[in-house]
């Protein structure tokens, strides 16, 4: 699944950038962020692209 970040840009995510979801764990998205590390993020700040 591909998602787009729609929250406020911070150190690890860029607003409007698309990210690939590695897995969904307890409803949260595991993605590789801009620091090249994978973390869990709340789906509330993303929209599904594909």
For residue range 1-50, list pLDDT tens digits in order: 999 999 887 789 999 999 999 999 999 999 999 999 999 999 999 999 99
The CATH code of the domain that includes 25 is 2.30.30
d(CA 50, CA 20): 10
pLDDT at 43: 96
pLDDT at 40: 96
Print the domain residue range for 23: 2-48
pLDDT at 9: 78
Number of domains in the chain: 1
Q: What is the pTM of this model?
A: 0.89
Contact 12, 35 (CB under 8 A): yes
CB atoms within 10 A of CB 14: 14
């Amino acid at each position: 699944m591909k998602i787009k970040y729609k929250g406020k840009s911070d150190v690890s995510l860029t607003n409007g950038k698309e990210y690939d979801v590695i897995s969904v764990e307890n409803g949260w998205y595991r993605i590789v962020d801009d620091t090249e590390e994978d973390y869990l993020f709340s789906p509330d700040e993303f929209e599904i692209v594909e």
